[in-house]
Amino acid sequence: MFEFLDSGQYDLLGAFWVTVQLTLYSAVGSLLWGTLLAGMRVSPVPLMRAFGTAYVNLVRNTPLTVVLVACSLGLGQTLQITLGGGDFESIGFRLAVLGLIAYTSTFVCEALRSGINTVPVGQAEAARALGLSFFQVLRLIVLPQAFRSVVAPLANVLIALTKNTTVAAAIGVAEASALMKTMIENESSALFAVFAVFAFGFVVLTLPTGLLLGWVSKRVAVKR
Amino acid sequence: MSGVSVTKGAEDAVPATGDLVVLSNVNKHFGALHVLQDIDLTIARGEVVVVIGPSGSGKSTLCRTINRLESIDSGAITIDGKPLPEEGRELARLRADVGMVFQSFNLFAHKTVLENVTLGQIKVRKTDKANAEEKARALLDRVGVGSQADKYPAQLSGGQQQRVAIARALAMGPKVMLFDEPTSALDPEMINEVLEVMQQLARDGMTMVVVTHEMGFARSAANRVVFMADGRIVEQATPDEFFSNPRSDRAKDFLSKILHH
Q: Which ipTM was obtained for this model? A: 0.85
pLDDT digits (tens, 9 = 90+) for B195-243: 999 999 999 999 999 999 889 889 988 999 999 999 999 999 999 999 9
Q: Which residue has the higher pLDDT, A51 or A4?
A: A51
State the smallest CA–CA distance between residue B9 and chain A in angstroms: 31
CA distance A34 to chain B (A): 22
Provide the pLDDT for residue A77.
74
What is the reported pLDDT for A99? 93
Summarize the confidence of residues B168-180 as an average pLDDT. 93
Mutate: best of B103, B106, B151, partner A, most A CBs <10 A: B106
Using a CB-CB cut-off of 8 Å, the residues of chain B touching A125 are 69, 102, 106
Q: Return d(Cα B199, Cα A148) in angstroms, integer.
A: 38
Query: Containing H/E element for B179?
Result: strand B176-180
Contact A144 B107 (CB under 8 A): no
CA distance B203 to B48: 10
Residues 6+ apart with CB under 8 A from A75: A81, A95, A98
Residues of B in contact with A221 (CB under 8 A): none
Mutation target among A119, A130, A150 for the B interface, most CBs of B within 10 A: A130
Reported as a single tens digit per residue, the pLDDT across A14-54 is 888 989 999 999 999 999 999 999 999 998 899 999 999 99
Mean pLDDT value of segment B151-170: 93
Residue A179 has pLDDT above 60, yes or no: yes
What's the rounded mean pLDDT across residues A75-90?
75
Cβ neighbourhood burial of B27 (10 Å; 0-12, 13-18, 19+): middle
For chain B, percent of residues with pLDDT exceeding 70: 93
- Rounded Cα distance, B25 and A105, in Å: 48
Residues A197-219 have pLDDT tens digits of 889 989 999 999 899 999 999 88
B139 near A CB under 8 A: no
Q: What are phi and psi of A41, to 5 degrees?
A: -70, -20
Give the pLDDT confidence of A53-72 residue by residue, as tens digits: 999 999 999 999 999 998 88
End-to-end CA distance of chain B: 31
Closest CA to B233 of B74, B65, B57: B57
Q: Do B110 and A133 touch (CB under 8 A)?
A: no
- Residue A131 to chain B, least CA–CA distance (Å): 4
Q: Write the CA distances from B245 to B85, B220, B240, B252, B256, integer angstroms.
A: 39, 16, 8, 8, 12
Distance in Å, alpha carbon of A160 to nearest chain B alpha carbon: 29
pLDDT at residue B1, as a whole number? 38
Q: Are the beta carbons of B76 and B104 closer than 8 angstroms?
A: no
Counting one residue from chain A and one from chain B, the pairs whose CB atoms sit within 8 A come to: 69
> Is pLDDT of A13 > 80?
yes
B250 pLDDT above the threshold of 80? yes
Cβ–Cβ of B96/A125 closer than 8 Å? no
Q: Which residues of B touch A43 (CB under 8 A)?
A: none
Q: Smallest Cβ distance to A130: which of B89, B109, B120?
A: B120
Domain A9-220, CATH homologous superfamily name and number: MetI-like (1.10.3720.10)
| C-beta of residue A102 within 8 angstroms of C-beta of residue A66 | no
pLDDT score of B17: 59
Section A76-100 average pLDDT? 80
Residue B8: per-residue pLDDT: 40
Q: If you ran DSSP here, which 8-state letter would residue B85 be given?
A: P
- Phi, psi of B39, deg, nearest 5: -80, 125
Which of the four pLDDT bands, split at 50, 70 and 90, describes residue B16?
very low
Give the integer Cα–Cα distance in Å for B146 and B136. 9
Find all residues with CB under 8 Å of A31, minimum gap 6, and list them.
A105, A108, A154
B79 at interface of A, judged by CB pairs closer than 8 A: no
- CA torsion, ordered A30, A38, A220, B165, to nearest 10 deg: 150
**Model confidence over B43-94: pLDDT tens digits?**
999 999 999 998 889 999 999 999 899 989 999 999 988 888 887 788 888 8
The reported pLDDT for the residue numbered B260 is 63
Identify the three-state secondary structure at position A184: helix
Q: Give the orientation angle of helix A88-116 with respect to helix A46-60, to 10 degrees.
A: 120
Give me the residue from A125, A148, A222 closest to B69, CB to CB. Answer: A125
With a cut of 70, say whether residue B7 has pLDDT above it.
no
Average pLDDT, chain A: 89
Rounded Cα distance between B106 and A126, Å, is 6
User: Is A133–B106 a contact, with Cβ atoms under 8 angstroms apart?
Assistant: no
Across the interface, whether the CB atoms of A148 and B110 are under 8 A apart is answered: yes
Is pLDDT above 60 for B154? Answer: yes
Contact between B178 and B209 under an 8 Å Cβ cutoff? The reply is yes
| Torsion angle of C-alpha atoms B214, B216, B222, B225, degrees rounded to 10 | 60
> What letter does residue A3 receive in the DSSP assignment?
G
In chain B the domains, ranked by start, together with CATH numbers, are 19-259 (3.40.50.300)
pLDDT score, position B9: 42
Contacts of B124 in chain A (CB under 8 A): 130-132
List chain A residues with CB under 8 Å of B102. 122, 125-126
Select the residue of B97, B110, B124 nearest A222 (Cβ to Cβ). Answer: B110
